[in-house]
Structure 1
Amino acid sequence: MTGLRERKKAQTRQHLCAVATDLFVARGFDAVTIAEIAEAAEVSVNTVYNYFPAKEDLFLPWEHQVDRPSRRVRDRAPGESAAEALLRELRRDIADRRPWVGFMERGYDRFLRVVFGSPTLIARLQRMQHATAERLADTLREETGAAPDDPVPGLVAGLLTWLTGNVFRVAGDGAMAGDPADEIVRRMLHVIAEAEALLGDRVMGYARRPLTPGGAS
């Protein structure tokens, strides 16, 4: 059970993010200072930095997003490959309309306008995508026991990261165009289905977990 202190810290983080996001949407990311966020949230500047070492962390959180694909590969079911696990969970996220795939209460279009209006956030997003692919490659290498000079884990990670990015792009294009959520969902799922066929058996079957510990899949 989560303790009182942890709940209060989570509430403070959520409050700071909400206040900062409102300011970013209203004025643009680069125009807002940490001091202004602290004043609007009625906390000290040091409190903001204690929770978020960089201003970008308030709008584009790093660790959870970067580790999500790797975590899903590590948690894949017996008999399931890395790609199957990732795409299964991505389909579930889309069906459940999770915020990290583009279904935000505040509007994905507003989120994207803030990002595209800031060179700092664009650079951050690019670094996150690169870090996600690198971490996924490391995870695939560990899960398969691939040699350090084996290029396959990096190639598979790059392909799966590229696919995920394309699915997110569909969500962004739909949101910016003001399309209905149901239509955006349909397009995202269609992209996944088409990509599965293009990736082929080798990528789709890579890092398949054995059905029994130590056994064959």
Structure 2
Amino acid sequence: MNKTIVLSLFFVLLSSWILAAPVAYTNKASFLSNVSVVSPQSINFDSYDAGTILTNQTISGITFRSPGSIPLQVINASSGVRNPMVSSSGTKILSPGGSNLTQEEDDLELIFANPLRAFGMDVIFDTPDGASFVSASFYDASNNLIHQIGPHIPAPTGGITFVGLVADSVLISRVVIDDFDPSAPDDHIAYDSLVFCPVPEPTSFLLLCLASLGMALILKRK
């Protein structure tokens, strides 16, 4: 291997990291298998009492906001809203408006204290009829839309849809779940099992780059 090949490999690795395109997922296993999802952290709501309000609360660097005035309330999944719902982590879920049938608008905004490389979560429907009026939008620090999943994310049998994005070089600063037709009867939705990856320290990548440069220098001396 000559130094030209080594340097070419170095620049290919560098450009692949810089130019990596965001990849969206609606399957959690596929999301977790992405090589960029390293040492993911998670949040669920099982440690909170039913009735706890998390509006404007920050957990592990993620601030939970309600774009409207409806409170973000922890409920027992088995209580649900119109129907019992399913928790993907245990027994509790986060429901805008709690179990109140009259509060249909189930929007959620998540703001990250430190931008993330990857983020995903479970969206739970109490009437999983296959369709929804719900979208998931991912934004960067300048409020530019990175990607939108939707406008109609699946509402499958079983009631849980995963939405996630691996952004790599374009970091995620905010996520908005938009229930854009709050009059629809299947739009009582809740949330569970947030999974996220802070920007990793670039140790492995830097070591690879340094090794490539070191090899190039050795070859140059020969």
TM-score range, shorter chain: under 0.3
Q: Name the one with the larger strand percent.
A: 2
TM-score (structure 2 length as normaliser)? 0.24
Q: Name the one with the larger helix percent.
A: 1
TM-score (structure 1 length as normaliser)? 0.24
Higher RCO structure (Cα 8 Å, ≥6 apart): 2
